[in-house]
Amino acid sequence: MNFVFLSPHFPPNWYRFCVALRAAGARVLGIADAAYDSLRPELRGALAEYYRVGDMQDYDQLVRAMGHLTHRHGKLDAIDSLNEYWLETEALLRTDFNLVGVKSDRILNIKRKSRMKEIYRAGGIPVARGRVARTFSEARGLADETGYPLVAKPDVGVGAVATWKLDDERALERFFERKPPGDYILEEFVQGRIVTFDGLVDQDGRLVFSASLAYGRGIMETVNEDDHVFYYTVRDVPSDLEELGRRTLSAFDVRGRFFHLEFFRNTNGGLVALEVNMRPPGGLTTDMWNYANDIDVYREWANVVVHNRFEAIWSRPYFCGYVGRKYSKRYAHSHEAILAELGPLIVHHERMDSIFRQAIGDYGYLVRSPDEGEILEAVRFIHELC
């Protein structure tokens, strides 16, 4: 199998996917704009060839890179980056080079939130009322139907960037006075907390791994208020969440991919669909899955891609939490004090790439325990302010 991996060096922990692909028997071919010598040794060792382009935004350069790799290695079979940013680019390349996976005719279903809503509704999946509003008059008409608050977010976007809560008509007016370019979707504000249904499906659409994340607070609030964040994998996925997650996978016909499905658990206990993401959750979540289950999800994904099988046995014996800290805050406990106090609860810690800081912080800790209370106490200690 000739597998093209776009931007294999980013995020930093994604190199493990390339290592796993090679171990599974694939020929891994990388395309990116980073200097070859800047790639970590494990990644260089996994790549059969690396083609450096001058500009990843220049589609013609990517086409030439794909043509070069085809000439050198024969027919290409698959392409991915497992990265939200490149989903549309990958779909175009799959279409132009006739590769397996999501092509251009389906990509807007998983990129545009307005198209997602149509598929949710067709599948009988509860979804927040809302639509693309290009003028103040259109937005005010929606507010007349739903009332305030409203949430305004890019129709194509990720990670709560450029997302606002609008509490009244004056806030709606101010939004349209400063509205960024591009389509925005406005929808009713759902009071509740975000829960997720995440995992991996094989090439036949069978669910082979699942997980769920609980958040300390919403990502929109974390980004807009520059707050620190924590979230953690749960040990038991509620049955109604799994049922609605499976229905969503069927409605979107997900095959051979990771997925990250977001829902609101509203104050009445019901679930409302928020959005679909056809890639792994961000940050260190894939590593959290490994620690929560004592498995290697990188290897299992590669097995699904190359052999269409998932071999690991998993049972979620642990909660695993991510606790992010921001350098802009004054914390009561130093890094050294955290390591000394929490000891074996901390299974990993690292400085996070600055591009992620708004959402998940400058430095992250992974904490693991079979006891949810221990996770929450560790969060309290790490986040305690002076």
- The strand pair at 150-154 and 130-132 is best described as unpaired
- Looking at the predicted structure, is the pLDDT value of residue 22 above 90? yes
Question: Mind listing the domains of the chain with CATH numbers?
Answer: 2-105 (3.40.50.20), 129-188 (3.30.1490.20), 192-383 (3.30.470.20)
Q: Which of 363, 285, 365 is nearest to 323 (CA)?
A: 365
Confidence (pLDDT) at 218: 55
Whole-Å CA distances, 173 to 14, 140, 146, 250: 42, 9, 17, 39
pLDDT digit string (tens) for 335-347? 999 999 999 999 9
In contact, 379 and 319? CB cutoff 8 Å: no
Q: Over the range 111-120, which residues count as b (16 or more CB within 10 Å of their CB) and which as e?
A: bbbbbbbebb
- Residue 100, helix vs strand vs coil: coil
Confidence (pLDDT) at 295: 98
Over its C-alpha atoms, the chain yields an Rg (Å, rounded) of 21
Confidence (pLDDT) at 276: 93
pLDDT digit string (tens) for 201-252? 999 999 999 999 999 865 555 555 678 899 999 999 999 999 999 999 999 9
Region of poorest pLDDT, from 4-18, 169-183, 200-214: 169-183
Stretch 292-313: mean pLDDT:
98
pTM above 0.85, yes or no: yes
Confidence (pLDDT) at 216: 84
Residue 304's identity, in one-letter code, is V
Report d(CA 158, CA 116) in Å as an integer: 14
In contact, 265 and 345? CB cutoff 8 Å: no
Region of poorest pLDDT, from 1-10, 154-163, 196-205, 262-271: 154-163
Stretch 267-282: mean pLDDT:
93
Which DSSP string corresponds to 325-364? E-TTS-BSS-HHHHHHHHGGGEEEEEEPPGGGHHHH-SEE
Residue 369's identity, in one-letter code, is S
Cα distance between the two ends of the chain: 54
- Cα torsion 307, 310, 312, 316 to 10°: value is 150
Stretch 10-15: mean pLDDT:
95
CA 174 to chain centre: 30
Residue 266's identity, in one-letter code, is N
pLDDT digit string (tens) for 346-378? 999 999 987 888 888 999 999 999 999 999 999
Half-sphere exposure of 320 (CA within 13 A, CB side): 21
In contact, 207 and 246? CB cutoff 8 Å: yes
Whole-Å CA distances, 85 to 7, 81, 124, 213, 381: 10, 9, 29, 22, 34
User: pLDDT exceeding 70 applies to what percent of the chain?
Assistant: 96
Confidence (pLDDT) at 158: 58
Confidence (pLDDT) at 97: 97
Grade residue 172 by pLDDT with cuts at 50, 70 and 90. very high
- Looking at the predicted structure, is the pLDDT value of residue 132 above 90? yes
Q: Which residues pair with 207 in a beta bridge?
A: 201
- Looking at the predicted structure, is the pLDDT value of residue 68 above 60? yes
- Looking at the predicted structure, is the pLDDT value of residue 155 above 80? yes
Confidence (pLDDT) at 44: 98
Grade residue 329 by pLDDT with cuts at 50, 70 and 90. very high
In contact, 103 and 91? CB cutoff 8 Å: yes
Stretch 262-276: mean pLDDT:
92
Grade residue 192 by pLDDT with cuts at 50, 70 and 90. confident
